[in-house]
Structure 1
């Protein structure tokens, strides 16, 4: 069977071949630019591996897998505008390199091109995939809106936050696996298990990102540790701390959240200390383990030859154990 590394190289080569369009250059160059910035590509890769669980003809999932990646980058392009983000993967964001209007329009074309790539699916399975893709795309937008709503609220609950990250980030991973199963010919029970595996893994990954931002190794994390604390970003850890803090811990946390001028290193250390005193790290790690365990259980329950599942299972294990 083709290994994940081989699949990734093939996938990357296919992505690099796509032109998306030529004229006017201002419309299409930003698409080629954001797609060239890289990323882990694990969503489309998991589509290919899910397909290969059920058929040796995984190549028929190559274009649909790219649709997942194009759609993902479309959401990033628009998210960056809403967040006024200056950088994406260490490079200027599209709206910074060009302007916001170009980024909006180029993003719109990316969504259209994602549909073009999905049209490569066999006709007897296309309608089902399109229905699931449309549902997923709408949910991603719902999650982004919830995330923006949370920016002005200090009473966000754990349940609300988990719902938001499920919609904003996790359902797309669930869809990537589900679509791979559909293309490969898996039955309804199997595609449901693939979807649930992806959703639970996706929530686990986002919670792990929240945790690594506070406790990660700067040499491995790839970005500034403590950035979420500096920005008062409502992560799982902060929401839990706000719910648990009392007395001095609450007063100290409120003071740091209200401060407009501060030493960044001092703030990160102080808030991390508050998290430690409240047991936030252990609780978050427990939650992450629960979501990953549920995801693995779904994959284990797939009725397929263990030899056909081994690459998918192994790859997911690698993602779970990452430290960046």
Structure 2
């Protein structure tokens, strides 16, 4: 079974899903955000995990969409917190409508996510909801840690990895776990699926950090160097601060971090040059590959036919090689 087959089923489900009709200001933003594209990685993972252990992978599509709706709910609220003008190249909901509508529509999206999740069999319903609740709380914990880091100068590498594990990767892990639960794969297999997801999720975010500094502007889809401009505490910046201690690069890096007025392009170019002198890109890629490789090892341990696991391997390779 190819990725395209699974993705087409998910896209069809999205197109056919109605979240509500009136008042239109409440529901139109949901349909708008859900129509903006994106990789649909989370529902894809859930459906592919189900397919490994069940021929009836279609039964995972609706609850998998619940994960995607939840993910987009977090994006809608994150955009408000970040005052972001664009999402996937289009105006964010709070820009197109207003902040109050975006908050309320986001709240309804969370309700809709739970409604879609009720499509699972009754015998696993309580367990699925308990795991979904825990995961949702962890995503919020990750977002709060990320905000906390903005005002801290002592963030460690381990703290950063834990933050992206919570903010990004646990939802990928849950998506795969959900697929395992729907397919009745058993506790050991379901745990391996979850571990696979959390590991590739950390790798995915580290890849995002690298692309933000070194990506092709025409392919990346957003401003290259945005993290540098904002002094965002990514793995690259934390490693650069660590390795530059006591060296000439330390003063240069601190100058740009503390600068209140600067030319954005000049700052990005200067900080990137510091990263290059410290070999940061290579180190970041090694760190990223450590997590992707660990995820692939989890998949090797999964007791299932190789051809059934192949779509997950293909997707992982795409994540490693992606340019946007």
Q: Report the TM-score range of the alignment, normalised by the length of the smaller protein.
A: over 0.9
Instruction: Identify the residue that residue 31 of structure 1 maps to in structure 2.
Output: 30
Instruction: Identify the residue that residue 212 of structure 2 maps to in structure 1.
Output: 213
CA drift at 1:135:
0.5
Contiguous gaps of at least 5 residues in structure 2 = none
Q: Does structure 1 residue 92 correspond to structure 2 residue 65? A: no
Instruction: Identify the residue that residue 146 of structure 2 maps to in structure 1.
Output: 147
Instruction: Identify the residue that residue 45 of structure 2 maps to in structure 1.
Output: 46
Q: Does structure 1 residue 224 correspond to structure 2 residue 189? A: no
In 2, the alpha carbon distance for the partners of 1:3 and 1:282 equals 32
Q: How does 1:39-118 map to 2 (within 5 A)?
A: 39-118=38-117
In 2, the alpha carbon distance for the partners of 1:83 and 1:222 equals 18
In 1, the alpha carbon distance for the partners of 2:214 and 2:238 equals 16
Q: Does structure 1 residue 319 correspond to structure 2 residue 319? A: yes
Computed over aligned residues only, the root mean square deviation of the Cα atoms, in angstroms, reads 1.0
In 1, the alpha carbon distance for the partners of 2:165 and 2:3 equals 26
1:55-114 Cα shifts (integer Å, max 9, x gaps): 110011011110010000000001111111111111111111111111111111111111
Q: How does 1:190-205 map to 2 (within 5 A)?
A: 190-205=189-204
CA drift at 1:269:
1.4
Q: How does 1:254-273 map to 2 (within 5 A)?
A: 254-273=254-273
Instruction: Identify the residue that residue 161 of structure 1 maps to in structure 2.
Output: 160
In 2, the alpha carbon distance for the partners of 1:160 and 1:42 equals 25
CA drift at 1:7:
1.2
CA drift at 1:310:
1.5
Q: How does 1:283-298 map to 2 (within 5 A)?
A: 283-298=283-298
Alignment coverage as a number of residue pairs = 323
Moved more, 11-20 or 262-271: 262-271
Question: Are the equivalent residues in 1 in contact too, given 2:89–2:222 (CA < 8 A)?
Answer: no
In 2, the alpha carbon distance for the partners of 1:119 and 1:265 equals 49
In 2, the alpha carbon distance for the partners of 1:315 and 1:281 equals 23
CA drift at 1:219:
2.6
* SS in structure 2 at match of 1:229: helix
Question: Are the equivalent residues in 1 in contact too, given 2:192–2:298 (CA < 8 A)?
Answer: yes
Q: Does structure 1 residue 184 correspond to structure 2 residue 189? A: no
* SS in structure 1 at match of 2:55: coil
Moved more, 208-217 or 50-59: 208-217
In 2, the alpha carbon distance for the partners of 1:296 and 1:91 equals 34
Instruction: Identify the residue that residue 275 of structure 2 maps to in structure 1.
Output: 275
CA drift at 1:218:
2.0
CA drift at 1:238:
0.6
CA drift at 1:155:
1.4
1:6-33 Cα shifts (integer Å, max 9, x gaps): 1101211110111101111111111111
1:256-285 Cα shifts (integer Å, max 9, x gaps): 111122222221111111111222112111
* SS in structure 2 at match of 1:156: coil
- When normalised by structure 1's length, the TM-score is 0.97
CA drift at 1:158:
0.5
- When normalised by structure 2's length, the TM-score is 0.97
Instruction: Identify the residue that residue 134 of structure 2 maps to in structure 1.
Output: 135
CA drift at 1:224:
2.0
In 2, the alpha carbon distance for the partners of 1:250 and 1:317 equals 35
In 2, the alpha carbon distance for the partners of 1:318 and 1:271 equals 28
